[in-house]
Chain A
Amino acid sequence: MPTSSDIVIECEGIGKRYRIGERERYRTLRDTLTRAAARAMRGRWHVGEAPSIWALEDITFRMRHGEVLGVIGRNGSGKSTLLKILSRITRPTRGRARIRGRVGSLLEVGTGFHSELTGRENIFLNGAILGMRRSDILRRFDDIIDFAEIGEFLDTPVKRYSSGMAMRLAFAVAAHLEPEILLVDEVLAVGDAVFQKKCLGKMGEASQHGRTALFVSHNMLAVQKLCHSAIWLDQGRIRDVGPAGEIAHRYLRTVQSQHIERKWEDGDASAGDGNVRLRSVLARRADRGVDLITVRTPLALDFEYSILKPGLQLALIASVYNEEGVMVFSTDTRLTGNAAGTYRSTCQIPGDLLNAGMYSVSVTFARDEAFALFEVNDAIAFEVEDSTHGRGTWYDRWPGAVRPMLQWNTRAMDEEKESIDTLIYR
């Protein structure tokens, strides 16, 4: 029987409103003064309601001591805003929350890292920023270096680290933060697979040690594995609450039911002619994972079709359009002299290429290099999710039609130094 003292986080009707104007990042004093003057001239001090968005509305839930709660939902559903409120970075516009216990929050790894400082110096600085005391850092120091695997680079400035090394160091400090209540934003989506596994292990450890944790994630496997229960946020409201496995399943089912696969009946004239007939198109993660497609994940498009006449010079053309209707790319494969029968062609789209957003795929079959047989517009639609949160406010989206992960290199020109890999935060 849970008593009231078991409750460590209590949210009652939390709401957060952002004024749209605040998207303009900042105002200038000059603008404010001229606007005020203009209003005064017109003789009315009309304080207009600035247009606003409720990023969160009426969020009510409780967390018991030792509970690990997952928060899931699409981009812009309010997950990060909730985390920011609980971390005390921003205040709710409505409602109230009560937290009992010392809170440690990780909204990002490596906050406050300075590239001019050495690994050792950054461990202390970052630890202090996360709220660790010097004595705690000293006590954990050896564990942190072991975990980060930075070895002899300890006294080298971080700007000479590879991005992987810097990430490992940043995570190592974060992983050794041991508050009573841990609030974590998808910081696990960093580093290589081996390191991710290690980090997940560390999270699992925390949950086994009876630490209360709130974990915002896109990674449904991680949510199912680490969390006892989950909250599904949709457009700023709680859509569903329950055991983590159940909620994650429901969430995935809803998200993936959106035309991610489409099949055509035999008699459907819209998907074929006498030469070739499209049977199905499927967008999926290339690794067959059950998670969402994110900007990082390689994905695959499967096309199944039947060739009705043998020996044709066919081409299968797939064109991918983004939400604005811009063709992001078009790709084709030649199917030369195949026998009649059913085939499956798979197109691999690498990770770190598409930006987050909705995409639609149009399929065209052409004959003899030039002659289009038929076209299926918007054959399927799929969504690419952001993998980590942007860099600022909750509605941030990384700009650009594509979002490749590019290697940067910076070299000092005045003397011969080794080249420096710059740390990329995405």
Chain B
Amino acid sequence: MTTSDFAVGGSSSDAIELVPSPAATLRLREVWAYRELLFFLMWRDIRVKYKQTALGVLWAVLQPVGLAAIFSIFLGRYAHVPSAGVPYPVMVLAGILPWQLFAQALSESSNSVVASERLITKVYFPRVIIPAAAAGAAIPDFCIGFIVLLVMLKVFGVGISMQILLAPFFVALALLAAFAVGLWLSALNVQYRDVRHAIGFLVQAWMFMTPIVYPISVIPQRWRHFYALNPMVGVIEGFRRSVIGQEVPVRIILVSVLATVIILAGGLYYFRRMEDTFADVI
């Protein structure tokens, strides 16, 4: 008997109980046992994304740079939007990069469960892996964009300080926020297919509620903490300031982290409750 071969799904002494309504635990141990699948699904999404594309990784450069150029011309130059003490193109690119990471991770993870219909109706594994892998697949694009940002800082003569070591924290926060919202939307999407149409609108509206093309200073002081309930406010402000070497607004970030944690906890609970019905409804 080759018992050591097959460790996924708990040890053999554990009996699995199949009952109509299970205890509402998150089963994190089981998710951990399936971590390799998370990795493989993420790896698949990344491989497939870059296969058979003419421009390949160039897309990851063209999109943020193109957007940054357009915003710089129309908003920076003609509309005279303020730019937080650095050249406008630097400000806007440092905002667009984490935003695109978030937007891509959010829309991919929201559609991921519906797109994995075949897997869900044929194989068991903790479903939470699906939106997590889809969100994670947005990382390579961001990394390429980050290199472009470093070049840009050099070109515009913005010095890099030790502050930049804080940036990975905000990248992680952006992914976590996208995953948190993705949990809600991906589970809702199984039940209600018009969620798919709402995602594009949501992402677009959300972008303007986030200090990307404008600095946070345009928001009245007394509203800023309320404004930071949008998790991406903390992410963008924190990321941008750590890259251009300005002081990080700790209270704003704490509010955003708190908001993220609440959305994430609710999302995990909702997703967990819905996932047992996915195979029947999808």
Using a CB–CB cutoff of 8 Å, the interface residues on chain A facing chain B are: 14, 18, 22, 26-30, 32, 84-105, 107-108, 111-112, 114, 116-117, 121, 124-125, 128-134, 136, 157, 177-180, 209-211, 392-393
Residue of B nearest to A26 (CB): B193
On whether the beta carbons of B122 and A108 are closer than 8 Å, the reply is: yes
Docked complex Cα distance between A100 and B194 (Å): 41
Judge if B247 is at the interface, Cβ distance under 8 Å. no
Q: How far is the CA of A406 from the CA of B176 in the complex (A)?
A: 47
The 9 closest A-B pairs by CB, nearest first: A29-B192, A128-B40, A88-B124, A97-B18, A131-B8, A28-B194, A99-B16, A111-B122, A107-B122
Q: For the complex, what is the distance from the CA of A131 to the CA of B192, rounded to whole Å?
A: 30
Cβ of B51 and Cβ of A116 under 8 Å apart?
A: yes
- Contact between A131 and B6, CB atoms less than 8 A apart: yes
Q: What 1/0 flags go to B144-188 for Cβ under 8 Å of A? A: 000000000000000000000000000000000000000000001
> Given that A29-B194, A29-B195, A134-B36 are known contacts, is A98 also in contact with B48, CB under 8 Å in the complex?
no
Q: Is the Cβ of B191 less than 8 Å from the Cβ of A116?
A: no
Closest chain A CB from B111 CB (angstroms): 14
B124 contacts across to A, CB distance below 8 A: 87-89, 103, 105
15 A-B residue pairs with Cβ-Cβ distance under 8 Å, sorted by A, are A18-B280, A22-B280, A88-B16, A89-B120, A96-B19, A100-B12, A100-B14, A102-B8, A108-B118, A125-B41, A129-B125, A133-B6, A134-B36, A157-B51, A180-B6
Instruction: Specify which chain A residues have a CB less than 8 angstroms from the CB of B14 in the assembled complex.
Output: 100
How far, in whole Å, are A144 and B191 apart by their CA atoms in the complex? 39
Number of interface residues, chain B, beta carbon within 8 A? 52
Query: Which residue from B16, B39, B118, B192 sits with its C-beta under 8 Å from A26?
Result: B192
- On chain A, the residues within 8 Å of B5 by CB distance are 132-133, 136, 178
From A87, A99, A116, A130, contact of B52 by CB (8 A): A116
Q: Are B9 and A32 in contact (CB under 8 A)?
A: no
Candidates B10, B119, B123, B281; contact of A22 at CB < 8 Å: B281
Contact A90 B279 (CB under 8 A): yes
Query: Are A102 and B10 closer than 8 Å at their CB atoms?
Result: yes
Q: How far is the CA of A116 from the CA of B47 in the complex (A)?
A: 9
Q: Which of A28, A85, A89 is close to B121, meaning CB atoms less than 8 Å apart? A: A89
Q: Is the CB of B37 closer than 8 A to any CB of chain A?
A: yes
Q: Which of B22, B44, B123, B192 contacts A114 (CB 8 A)?
A: B44
Chain B nearest CB: distance from A301 CB in Å? 37
Q: CA of A14 to CA of B44 in the docked complex: distance in angstroms? A: 37
Q: Which of B6, B16, B118 is the one whose CB lies under 8 Å from A178?
A: B6
B15 within 8 A of A: yes
A94–B21 alpha-carbon span in the complex (Å): 9
Contact of B18 among A22, A92, A180 (CB under 8 A): A92
Residue of A at shortest CB range from B49?
Answer: A116
- Within 8 Å by CB of A98, from B18, B193, B282, lies B18
Contact check, A26 vs B18: say whether CB atoms are below 8 A apart: no
Find the A residue at minimum CB distance from B192: A29
- Taking CB atoms, residues of chain A closer than 8 Å to B43 are 125
CB distance from B189 to the nearest CB of A (A): 9
Contacts A107-B121, A129-B37, A393-B280 known; 6 new A-B pairs at CB < 8 A: A27-B191, A84-B279, A88-B16, A90-B279, A129-B119, A179-B6
Which residues of the other chain, A, contact B18 by a CB distance below 8 angstroms?
14, 85-86, 88, 91-92, 96-99
A151 → chain B, closest Cβ, in Å? 23
Is B205 interfacial (CB 8 A cutoff)?
no
CA distance A393 to B281 in the complex (A): 10
